[in-house]
Amino acid sequence: MLGNIARKLRLFGFDCKYFATIKDEQLLSIAKNENRTLITRDHTITNVCKKQKISAIDLFSTDEADQVIEIYRKRNLGKCEIDMNNVRCTMCNNAIQPIEKEKIINRIPVGVAQNMQQFWICNSCDRIYWEGTHIRNLQKFISEINEKLRSY
Ligand SMILES: [Zn+2]
């Protein structure tokens, strides 16, 4: 149920695995073996994490912005931002790499090719990224988050 949060965290540069359906034991063993922080709204799992000394963040909010704030606060992550050089693929969590426009020009809309100069590609799933409308729209979401992070 935290798929949207996972995609946002990847845009913010965090290495973030997400499972729509997974058994608790599997989830716990991945967190443990890969030294990850388990983020969940399932408080039964976070209780198990405490016992097994697995890093976990218990989310209480149902609002996306508030959930991001909870994560940033609980781990003192500072300011929320999108730096294209740190972005991870929202689809597959791979780090994205800069790519020359000429190499992907046939795969992007004409308007984008005319207006944008910098592009990135996910070498795993081949998805192309640029600082488009989606990122710009997210800036409002990010400003709200940073506003609230500051006020505490
Ligand atoms: Zn990808």
Distance 62 CA to ligand 1 centre (A): 27
First-last CA distance in the chain: 27
Distance 22 CA to ligand 1 centre (A): 21
Distance 121 CA to ligand 1 centre (A): 8
Q: What's the pLDDT score for residue 14? A: 97
Q: Quick one: fold of 1-82? A: Rossmann fold (3.40.50)
Q: Which residues surround ligand 1, an ion (CB under 5 A)?
A: 89, 91-92, 94, 122, 124-125, 127
Distance 129 CA to ligand 1 centre (A): 10
Q: What's the pLDDT score for residue 12? A: 96
Distance 46 CA to ligand 1 centre (A): 29
Q: Where are the domains of the chain?
A: 1-82
pTM (whole model) above 0.85: yes
* CB-based contact 113:128 (threshold 8 Å): no
**Which among 53, 12, 21 has a CA at the least distance from the CA of 141?**
12
| Residue 127 in this model has a pLDDT that exceeds 80 | yes
Distance 96 CA to ligand 1 centre (A): 8
More confident of the two residues 20 and 14:
14
pLDDT of 24-79, one tens digit each? 999 999 999 999 999 999 999 999 999 999 999 999 999 999 999 999 999 999 99
Alpha carbon distance 19, 92 (integer Å): 11
